[in-house]
Amino acid sequence: MDRARRQELKSENLEEVFLPLKDAPYLDYFLSCKIYLAFEDDVLAGFVGFRPGDLSFVYVDPSRQGRGIATTLIQKALDELERPIRLDVFTNNKRAKALYEKFGFKTVKTVTEKWSDKFPVIFSQDTMELRWIP
């Protein structure tokens, strides 16, 4: 996750806020999610984490992206989740947004804000929602 998270933060010029998963303030939330792992050649390639109504985490190792791993993981989560389903994604993360849109997710809200007082970088995040069964 750490390599993919760095890539994600780079899309919003937020590299300076990166924390490894083991130190992240959302670790307890992450561990409360149902998580499916994807392996490629016996190496962890990515994972999806979700809770009722929320597609919380979709990460694929950058060296293994573009191979359909995220698509498979998202479909697995969607097969189990009741609608509506929400997710948050950085507005400038065009590649991720295009993937979510492929499943029918639509942007329902955009928020632009400061990351924190310690890291006063302005970023924009979209909430996307899927209402129908694909």
pLDDT digits (tens, 9 = 90+) for 49-100: 999 999 999 999 999 999 999 999 999 999 999 999 999 999 999 999 999 9
Give CA–CA dist 30/22, Å, rounded. 10
Q: What is the pLDDT of residue 11?
A: 79
Strand, coil or helix: what is 93? coil
**Torsion angle of alpha carbons 51, 56, 57, 58, nearest 10°?**
90
Question: Is 40 a residue whose pLDDT tops 90?
Answer: yes
**How confident is the model over 26-40, as a mean pLDDT?**
95
Q: How many CA atoms lie within 13 A of 7 on its CB side?
A: 15
Q: What is the pLDDT of residue 133?
A: 62
Give the confidence band of 102 by pLDDT, cuts at 50, 70, 90. Answer: very high
**How confident is the model over 11-20, as a mean pLDDT?**
89
